Amino acid sequence: MVSMKDIAARCKVSVATVSKALNGYSDIGKKKREEIQAVAKEMGYFPNSSARALKTNRTYDLGILFSDNLHSGLTHDYFAAILDSFKVTAESRGYDITFTSMNMVANRRMSYYEHCRYRGLDGVVIANIDFTTPEVLELVRSSLPVVTIDFTFDGRIAIVSDNVKGMKDLVDYVCSMGHRRIAYIHGDDNSVTRDRISSFHRALYNHGISVPDSYLKKSRYRDGETTMLCMQELLELKDRPTCVFTPDDFSAVGAYHAVQEAGLKVPDDISIVGYDGIPMSQALFPKLTTLWQDTKQIGQRAAEELIALIETPKTTLIEKELIVGKLMEGGSVLKIG
């Protein structure tokens, strides 16, 4: 492995001069600095990560804590897109990525926080997990820089998709298409779902529409089978809805299947709405009306804010940042009336 001493010998300068040139110090002439940098590149020099960590007190390694109830991992379209954007942004700033967990080390299970310390992570982003568990709370309450996605804690930066506005935009659109009997199959009980349900009711109230209890069904996110069963129950109602909101685009596939199995058609007999705007939603027939979430912006801002917490903690504001989505009309909502 090439060292700074080897470069110094080749350039006939001191190791200190090589160090200053490679770290961009201005007290070395531009010509000499560029000459040393060119030689270092030619010789295949790479800075030692351990030495850099000792010098900067940073490892340039960011953690990702991510899980979901169905253990879908990186096949979860929405969060996979967010984490990909997070990764691209972090790597462009010189940081590596490590997935954190409660691994076994020395015959004992480490907590999330202990694993982060064991790996020497500079900070961690937390997404799509049960934020109420003691292990997650320990991490959030620690001194480690933390950014959360779609969940807020006092004293921590949160990047949150604007679910309130997103749901309002969907309801306003469906009402503009003439629908007044509108049902909602919602996802797991968490802060995202609670925001969407509240916004759903508020938006309908503003249109003078009330929602009977029979029109509210509980499913799970990315669970097409349970959503299909809920849709079947709604289709069996005497006064069935004309439009059904589903937990997300993936689950909406189950609703489509229920309609098809009942010998009905979307949207001629019943309209369906999704959420997320994943590519699959536009592969359905008819294309799904949904709310596109800006996953690229969410992931990018999460990385930028986490790096800011690490590099400039005194000037980084601790706040909740809302990322606005966009309505995609599709063809799954029929205009009636």
- Give the separation between CA 330 and CA 98, rounded to whole angstroms: 38
Residue-wise pLDDT tens digits, 274-283: 999 999 999 9
pLDDT at 328 over 80: yes
> What are phi and psi for residue 318, nearest 5 degrees?
-90, 105
Is-cis flag, bond preceding 134, omega within 30? Answer: no
- Residues whose CB is less than 8 angstroms from the CB of residue 82 and which lie 6 or more positions away in sequence, other chains included: 127, 149, 295, 298, 299, 302
- Give the separation between CA 253 and CA 255, rounded to whole angstroms: 5
* CB 181 within 8 Å of CB 242: yes
* CB 289 within 8 Å of CB 331: yes
What pLDDT sits at residue 245? 98
pLDDT at 55 over 80: no
* pLDDT band with cut points at 50, 70 and 90 for residue 134: very high
Q: Which residue has the higher pLDDT, 16 or 232?
A: 232
* Cα end-to-end span (Å), the chain: 75
In this structure, of 60-69, 119-128, 214-223, 245-254, the range with the lowest mean pLDDT score is 60-69
pLDDT at 50 over 60: no
Cα–Cα distances in Å, from 133 out to 63, 97, 111, 219, 220?
A: 18, 24, 11, 22, 19
* CB 333 within 8 Å of CB 267: yes
Copy the structure tokens of residue 201: 């009711």
* pLDDT band with cut points at 50, 70 and 90 for residue 30: confident
Residue-wise pLDDT tens digits, 278-318: 999 999 999 999 999 999 999 999 999 999 999 999 999 99
Average pLDDT of span 167-194: 96
* pLDDT band with cut points at 50, 70 and 90 for residue 68: low
Copy the structure tokens of residue 323: 């990322």
- Residues composing the chain: 337
pLDDT at 209 over 80: yes
Domains, the chain, in order of start with CATH, read 4-47 (no CATH), 61-161+296-324 (3.40.50.2300), 163-292 (3.40.50.2300)
Radius of gyration, alpha carbons of the chain: 26
Average pLDDT of span 170-198: 96
Percentage above 90 pLDDT, the chain: 71
Residue-wise pLDDT tens digits, 86-109: 999 999 998 999 988 765 555 567
pLDDT at 238 over 80: yes
What pLDDT sits at residue 71? 55
What pLDDT sits at residue 4? 83
| Tokens 């997650």, residue located | 136
* CB 278 within 8 Å of CB 249: yes
pLDDT at 140 over 70: yes
Strands 61-66 and 96-99: parallel
* CB 107 within 8 Å of CB 325: no
Average pLDDT of span 230-257: 97
In this structure, of 1-15, 150-164, 221-235, the range with the lowest mean pLDDT score is 1-15
Question: For 86-113, what is the HEC assignment?
Answer: HHHHHHHCCCEEEECCCCEECCEECCHH
What pLDDT sits at residue 53? 54
> What are phi and psi for residue 244, nearest 5 degrees?
-125, 125
In this structure, of 97-106, 140-149, 243-252, the range with the lowest mean pLDDT score is 97-106
What pLDDT sits at residue 186? 98
Percentage above 70 pLDDT, the chain: 92
Give the DSSP letter string of 44-59: T----HHHHHHHHS--
Any idea what the Cα angle at residue 219 is, between residues 214 and 225, rounded to 5°? 115
